[in-house]
Structure 1
Amino acid sequence: MWPDYQFSQDNIMVTRRWETKGMLDAWAFYKLERFNYDFAEDEEKHAFRKTMSRIIDNAKSEGQILMLPTVAKADEPIDQWASMSKAYDIGAFVTKYYDRQKKVLRDRYSARYQPYLIVNLYEVEIEDEFNRIANRYTGDNFKDRLINGSKDLWNRYLKTIEGNAWISQADWQEILNKEKSLKNRLSRFCRLDACDQKEIEWLVARNLYKGIGEPKLLSELRDWTIPFEVQDDLYRPTRTLRFLMNGDTEFKNRHVEVKQLAGTAYQMYFTLSEIPTDGLEFPGQEFLYHALQAEYPVDISVKFKPIKDKKVRKKLKNIRLDIDDQEEMSGDSSDDQFNDVQEFESEIKKSSESVMMASFSFGLNSHNLEELQENADNFMSHMETCNVQVVNPFGDQERHFVDFLPCTSLVVAEDFHHCCFPDAIAGGMANASMNVGDPYGIYIGWNGSLGAPVFTQYPLLPSHGMSGGAAAFGPPGSGKSVVMNLKGIETVYHGGRALFFDPKGDRTFWDKAIPGLQGKASVANFGGKEAESDRGKFDPFRLYPDNPMKAMSIFSDSWQFLLDLEAGDMRVTALEESAQLLKEMPMDERNTSALLDRYQDIYKKEQVTKPEYGQLYRQIKAKADHPLVGLLVGNGSEIPFSTDYLLTVIQVHGLSFPDPEAGGNMDLSSEQRISLACFMGIMGFAFKFLEQRDILNFVGLDEIWSISRIPKGKQFVSKLNREGRALKNLVFMATQEPQDLKGLEQYLNNIYIYKQKGTKNAGDACDMLGIPNTEANRSTVLSLEKYHCLFRDQHERVSQVRIEITDPDLLKAFDTTPI
């Protein structure tokens, strides 16, 4: 029953059968693609099941699916992320920051599930192999052949039967060919990744370390670069895996005790008493996926084996006899069971799929027996509420322990063997996943009943060739600004810089309040008296003295909107012609006031043919007297706003923005138009900020709805996102409704949806996330609690996440209550 592991090479393991020592088996190991199951529509779920069904059917051999959690302390991913920080200026603080975060999370565990597929490739009959080799020895008579071959054959027999398995070159090549054929066949249905040596060892050894810690792998202790010792045409493996099975195991009636030097672990195993079919329709009967929703890690093992027609009929005959015995003993007839058998026989005749014999096992573990017993009671209750019946077989724990060891056949008691089609096995959704985020990165919160920590490598997206665009959607007070703030500050802690545009005044004291950045942060307040003192600091020609085309683009966009110029207006043409005027001006004289003087000169010389220059001069000159507009009109004496700080906040809460309830077709007042045009001009600073390529830059735009609902404003936001992607930087936008950023989805690799108001907004949110716009999903969006959101990561996986800030000083600084 216990596997006899001989050797492994690449993703192939060779074992000796425990019941027939003269038989070797070769098994292929793969990591299966995980399907993110939450929020998938019914058609997708059926497609997922069909994919898994085809994999099981096309394996054409016995195999195993293992769904296993990789459990790690939550502080380990933080350590890995902290080690990558390049914030050398504040390195000492960053180290302390992550140390504090580890203390908060030290009692949390990160459990990420990974499905594995193990398939029997090839059977090698050792006796047949020796007979084939004996035929090679030739001579004039039997005596000559016996003398020539007996010694060599005897040595091979001893080495193979009593020691590590030797395998012929021909058989090994056949195994490699079968593995390649199998992978090509199954890869048509989903992505398969071949396991490496360490992963195979981990799958074997973890069973004797569950609840204790991570096993010591042989490949970490020895250099096994040479897999075989070659003698004649035989391969002798140098990688014996028997030592991975070391451990003192004691099998109790209801649990298993495993002792290692590091401690004692307790394990408990369950099995499925029957595949749930009665009263459950798919989707809804995902009996394996239900187990993943328990509040503790659960191991899942599914064994399957194609059975021949005669064995199927024999199995059905035995089922009928069991039904007859039950009727005789109880006196009650079981028409339902009899009908089920008849229906199954009918399906067998119609179906082209193989009939499988399968078993399903579940495993729990803990370092504490009382905790394990409590979890076991809760697990059985949890599965019962999902209409799934599991049992903890009395006195049969060894079989289920072995069931989780790779490369074993059906070892559980025959009472728990299930005769079924691949669809029935696939319907359990063994490869369904609720994983979201990355293995390590910025800690943003937790998700699922396990409270699994969620990490995101958002600052690394540009270096991985992906867009660094992100967005958070939600009404005031929902928490959307908090996640944007966290991403920006953590980008600084990682070694980058951050720039925030704040139209609400929520970040007034960030230069003093953000931990570790005192003296390295700047907050500028533009509105009221501040605007008077900072006149001309955002003149695009002062921001971009050596890039007149960039400056001209910002200048033209801002003034076309401010003056409400329509396409075809000659004043627009005049604005566009200004680029030529700039080229004729010395670099140190390029500013808006000097350009206006050129407009006046042109008008005086050519009043009849170019009256638009005179109109522009008068209109811009009149608007420039406004304190806010004055921010954009310099005379050459101003020192532009600095980009040298690690954290920069530009507060524009003195601007008058439209009411968010007004929608996209709002009528703007004069003050609102001035405010929006100035905001667009001030954001020209963001373009300059993004241009510094030697460092990662983050731009956070809060309440971006204020300009994105206006066509010209949306064009400006799109341009900013394009610049960010081209320059490999990060642009994070916070707004209220998904419709505000419609058309910009291509730039968004992280999306956070908070509670929305109204069914339409909820539907738009589903569309933005790429999940089905169903009543159930809309209801989820409409009922999200504060700080809870639906998070879509760069892999397009969606899950509900509770955002959490672990540092109390950061949390206080992120308080978005207007001052």
Structure 2
Amino acid sequence: MKYPIKYIENNLVFNHAGECFAYYELLPFNYSFLTLEQKEQIHTSFRQLIAQNREGKIHALQISTERSIRTLQDKSKQLLSGRLKEVAVERIDEQTEALVDMIGEHQMDVRFFIGFKLMTNEEEMSLKTLQKTAKETLTAFLREVNHKMMGDFVILPQAEIARYAKLEDFLYAKIARRFTIRPLEKNDFGYLIEHFYGKSGTTFEDYEYPLPVQKQNGQAIVKRYDLIKPTRSLIEENQRYLKITNNEEQEQYVAYFTIDSIVGELEFPSNEIFYYQQQQFDFPVDTSMNIEILPNKKALSTVRNKKKELKDLDDHAWQSNNETGANVVDALDDVAELETTLDQSKEALYKLSYVVRVAAPTYDLLKRRCNEVKDYYDDWSIKLVRPFGDMFGLHQEFLPASQRYENDYIQYVTSDFLAGLGLGASQMLGETEGIYIGYNLETGDNVYLQPGLASQGVKGSVTNALATAFLGSLGGGKSFANNLLVYYAVLYGAQALIVDPKAERGDWPETLPEIVREINLVNLTSEEKNQGLLDPYVLMNRKKEAESLAIDLLTFLTGISSRDGEKFPVLRKAIRTVTQKDVRGLWLVIDELRKEDTEISRAMADHIESFTDYDFARLLFSNGTVERSINLDKSLNIIQVADLVLPDAQTSFADYTTAELLSVAMLLVISTFALEFIQTDRQTFKIVDLDEAWSFLQVAQGKALSNRLVRAGRAMNAGVYFVTQNADDLIDEKLKNNIGLKFAFRSRDRQEIQKTLAFFGLDPEDEDHHRRLRELENGQCLFQDLYGRVGTVQIHPVFEDLFHAFDTRPPTRKK
């Protein structure tokens, strides 16, 4: 059999039958968690793309390529900056070795390619074009004679290449309106050919195909050897498989299946074979679809002839007093329905040659994989067959611009069938490189994040918000995932401030010794030495911000509203007086109220003073002699306040106890302090991490503060991380709309699940979505990335030391 490829120019492939195909990579689109309407929209776009080609041929390929884990990790190292760069390089190198041990050197990556035969029959007929056609025919004949006699070079007129390139421009514009595509180049073709001839070990992105072309005297000249060089291998054809040898160490056994029959109805949206295939197999499976388009008139003629054959069978059975077979009756019904559809829609019919390629390093493994593939297609009511003696012919069908090998296994299908196979549908999550956080539960693919990327206006992203939400009930793994992401972000060069009201991170200096020099742990206890450290006048640098925080804090504690015409002006005046003094502190506000000496001011002074009786309340009140001692100059800053009593998420604000009220007030103060932290160097990505965020998101001051943090963060290259129990805690719609990355861990409550799905932009009533959220295990979450894509992820720390450092479960008694 003749090698089909005659010449390659950019994404154009010429074959020896005088045809030219234009090939594109169909960039995968996320198909996970889409609504029925979204799936229908994709299906319609595909059907229109296929149906608008009234004649010609289409060649579609689904290929399992390789992606190097080491290359990905090395690219991630290029994103490092900051004071912990050396530690980060060492940690990533260790992570690389661990991942390679677990999943191998390469990760499987599914790619989709589609080629269209370019048709040149749209030129008007004239004497000039007839002369031109005759001249081209003669020169083509002479070129073929030279090729037969001398055979070393392939020569093609540049005018012919330019004519097809012009047609390709029109085709590209037509496809790009519906799908994101990339024209192929010689390196892509070289990789595909070598892949089909059993070569592996080089990743798709790193492969280079040297194909020197000389252009002189209006002709393009290429050595035939350079064209066939990627096919260099020893192929031994057996009846039901090929043995391909590239060197002594690299052997591959390959088998080819084709469709024998489709015995059931493939109803959309449940027949996306290419999409579900990615979740089913952990070994490479390739698919080729050679499609020949039958114009409507020809299609009707073919269908009517088939109808006549079936009627003859029916008549013959009746004349011989036999019953017509059920398969003949069903076929007659199907043909009649197809005839009506074609007659009304005026659409074309498609002759499909569908070939599946299965490869393995040993013959025994090949047999097991072949059985798996047959079983998979059996579930779709598609019967595969492995024809005897036809392996090499089916192998040739995978090559670009190839012809259909045989007509024995042709399926006549409509554009609806082709559009519903799920070409291009995939499960994509996260970035191509960055922080490794875990793997996709459906496909096993690694998931990478770049937390500071949203504000860069990345192409295809649906948000530029840097804020992130971690949702989930107790014990689901939200704190662990949050800690892991913050840790790696700091390694990659970010600066973080963690507000830790439960004091769960106090042992990080011991459990994370590699970054201990960049950990600043501020442990605010009720000891006398910490008196007044959280006083707004001590904590804030600028007087105006200190005054604003003092008003928010005291109105929150006393419940005085700015609408209270009697009390609020008195309190406001006392705070303003203290602000204008050289010595400032909240204790002095009480003194100013007593100086006012009115019934209202004395009552307010007594009210505020009553809060100071609690041990940890002394942190909020200073007499003006306390100096600021909290600095956030390290890469990882943790502020934790001991003895806080946080209310339950279900407790309403009106039912807060005094201790709970003071605890939330302290969180408000520390979170306001975070605004100063955000407004530092814009070049450094910063994180403000608010653990137990629900506790102050329920109060008006907390909501307003959160919105300020998020808005300021977007401008100052800072992300606010909200760790809370459910989506309903993020009460403000403005706040929800400004959250980019979303993590939702296991939940059992139906209402919470509905709110979470709505927060992710998914159908809150979809029972399949409900089931997937309920069945998540510890450490597994629903995840939405910057591009709006949703999937399920297993958070994977890789290292045991990180697991123990970030594990917030209480220790168990050891035997």
Shift in alpha-carbon separation, 1:94–1:565, aligned structure 2, 3 A: farther
Deviation at 1:734, TM superposition (A): 1.6
Aligned equivalent of 2:285, options 288, 298, 304:
298
The yes-or-no answer on 1:398 pairing with 2:392 is yes
Deviation at 1:479, TM superposition (A): 0.7
Shift in alpha-carbon separation, 1:177–1:100, aligned structure 2, 3 A: closer
Aligned to 1:762: 753
CA distance in 2: counterparts of 1:667 and 1:543, whole angstroms: 29
Aligned equivalent of 1:38, options 32, 42, 47:
32
CA distance in 2: counterparts of 1:237 and 1:613, whole angstroms: 95
Aligned to 2:12: 13
SS for the counterpart of 1:692 is coil
Aligned to 1:468: 466
Aligned equivalent of 1:542, options 531, 538, 541:
538
In the alignment, residue 536 of structure 1 is paired with which amino acid?
G
Shift in alpha-carbon separation, 1:205–1:575, aligned structure 2, 3 A: farther
CA distance in 2: counterparts of 1:765 and 1:640, whole angstroms: 40
Aligned to 2:426: 433
CA distance in 2: counterparts of 1:567 and 1:721, whole angstroms: 24
The yes-or-no answer on 1:204 pairing with 2:202 is no
SS for the counterpart of 1:802 is strand
Taking the TM superposition and a 5 Å limit, the aligned residue runs for 1:16-415 are 16-17=15-16, 20=17, 23=18, 25-60=19-54, 61-89=56-84, 91-92=86-87, 94-96=89-91, 98-108=93-103, 109-122=106-119, 132=131, 158=146, 164-209=153-198, 213-214=202-203, 219=208, 229-231=215-217, 233-236=218-221, 241-261=227-247, 263-275=250-262, 277-278=264-265, 280-296=266-282, 297-309=284-296, 311-313=298-300, 315-316=302-303, 319-320=306-307, 323=310, 332-333=324-325, 334-411=328-405, 413-415=406-408
CA distance in 2: counterparts of 1:398 and 1:765, whole angstroms: 52
RMSD of aligned C-alpha atoms?
3.7
Deviation at 1:282, TM superposition (A): 1.9
CA distance in 2: counterparts of 1:216 and 1:104, whole angstroms: 20
Deviation at 1:348, TM superposition (A): 0.7
Name structure 1 gaps, 5 residues minimum: 138-149
Taking the TM superposition and a 5 Å limit, the aligned residue runs for 1:604-619 are 604=596, 619=607
Shift in alpha-carbon separation, 1:131–1:818, aligned structure 2, 3 A: same
CA distance in 1: counterparts of 2:439 and 2:155, whole angstroms: 50
Aligned to 1:794: 786
Aligned to 1:144: none
Shift in alpha-carbon separation, 1:158–1:498, aligned structure 2, 3 A: same
The yes-or-no answer on 1:772 pairing with 2:760 is no
Deviation at 1:326, TM superposition (A): 8.0
Shift in alpha-carbon separation, 1:165–1:724, aligned structure 2, 3 A: same
SS for the counterpart of 1:389 is strand
SS for the counterpart of 2:783 is strand
SS for the counterpart of 1:394 is coil
In the alignment, residue 661 of structure 1 is paired with which amino acid?
Q
Shift in alpha-carbon separation, 1:389–1:711, aligned structure 2, 3 A: farther
Taking the TM superposition and a 5 Å limit, the aligned residue runs for 1:578-727 are 589=583, 592=586, 599=592, 604=596, 619-624=607-612, 626-634=614-622, 635-652=624-641, 654-662=643-651, 667-693=655-681, 694-727=683-716
CA distance in 2: counterparts of 1:478 and 1:814, whole angstroms: 13
Name structure 2 gaps, 5 residues minimum: 459-463
Deviations 1:518-548 (A, max 9, x none): 233233333544xx43222233343432x34
CA contact (8 A) 1:82 1:98 kept: no
Deviation at 1:29, TM superposition (A): 2.4
Taking the TM superposition and a 5 Å limit, the aligned residue runs for 1:471-550 are 471-529=469-527, 532-545=528-541, 547-550=542-545
Shift in alpha-carbon separation, 1:200–1:665, aligned structure 2, 3 A: farther
Shift in alpha-carbon separation, 1:180–1:86, aligned structure 2, 3 A: same
TM-score by length of 1: 0.86
Deviation at 1:28, TM superposition (A): 2.0
Aligned to 1:442: 435
Shift in alpha-carbon separation, 1:591–1:98, aligned structure 2, 3 A: farther
Shift in alpha-carbon separation, 1:255–1:732, aligned structure 2, 3 A: farther
Deviation at 1:483, TM superposition (A): 0.8
Shift in alpha-carbon separation, 1:14–1:583, aligned structure 2, 3 A: same
Aligned to 1:141: none
CA distance in 2: counterparts of 1:506 and 1:775, whole angstroms: 36
Deviation at 1:681, TM superposition (A): 0.3
Shift in alpha-carbon separation, 1:402–1:535, aligned structure 2, 3 A: farther
CA contact (8 A) 1:254 1:393 kept: yes
In the alignment, residue 15 of structure 2 is paired with which amino acid?
R
Bigger mean CA offset, 365-374 vs 208-217: 208-217
In the alignment, residue 338 of structure 1 is paired with which amino acid?
L
Deviation at 1:510, TM superposition (A): 1.1
TM-score by length of 2: 0.86
CA contact (8 A) 1:538 1:682 kept: yes
CA contact (8 A) 2:191 2:207 kept: no
Deviations 1:454-490 (A, max 9, x none): 2222344444563222112111111111110110011
CA contact (8 A) 1:756 1:782 kept: yes
CA contact (8 A) 2:553 2:665 kept: yes
CA contact (8 A) 2:299 2:348 kept: no
Deviation at 1:796, TM superposition (A): 1.2
Bigger mean CA offset, 58-67 vs 327-336: 327-336
CA distance in 2: counterparts of 1:700 and 1:650, whole angstroms: 10
Deviation at 1:338, TM superposition (A): 1.3
CA distance in 2: counterparts of 1:365 and 1:553, whole angstroms: 69
SS for the counterpart of 2:562 is coil
Deviation at 1:577, TM superposition (A): 7.3
CA contact (8 A) 1:29 1:118 kept: yes
Deviations 1:545-564 (A, max 9, x none): 2x344444433333332222
In the alignment, residue 672 of structure 1 is paired with which amino acid?
E
Deviation at 1:151, TM superposition (A): 12
CA distance in 1: counterparts of 2:745 and 2:20, whole angstroms: 51
CA distance in 2: counterparts of 1:646 and 1:501, whole angstroms: 14
CA contact (8 A) 1:536 1:633 kept: yes
Q: Percent identity, aligned pairs only?
A: 22
CA distance in 2: counterparts of 1:583 and 1:666, whole angstroms: 30
Shift in alpha-carbon separation, 1:493–1:347, aligned structure 2, 3 A: same
Bigger mean CA offset, 436-445 vs 789-798: 436-445
In the alignment, residue 429 of structure 1 is paired with which amino acid?
G
Shift in alpha-carbon separation, 1:577–1:666, aligned structure 2, 3 A: closer
CA distance in 2: counterparts of 1:481 and 1:705, whole angstroms: 14
CA contact (8 A) 1:251 1:397 kept: yes
CA distance in 2: counterparts of 1:626 and 1:410, whole angstroms: 84
CA distance in 1: counterparts of 2:71 and 2:207, whole angstroms: 23
The yes-or-no answer on 1:419 pairing with 2:415 is no
Deviations 1:154-191 (A, max 9, x none): 68984899565544454333323212211222223223
Deviation at 1:402, TM superposition (A): 1.9
CA distance in 2: counterparts of 1:124 and 1:367, whole angstroms: 46
Deviations 1:197-236 (A, max 9, x none): 43343233322245555489884658x6xx66231x4444
CA distance in 2: counterparts of 1:590 and 1:230, whole angstroms: 86
Deviation at 1:98, TM superposition (A): 3.3
CA distance in 2: counterparts of 1:506 and 1:762, whole angstroms: 27
Deviation at 1:345, TM superposition (A): 1.0
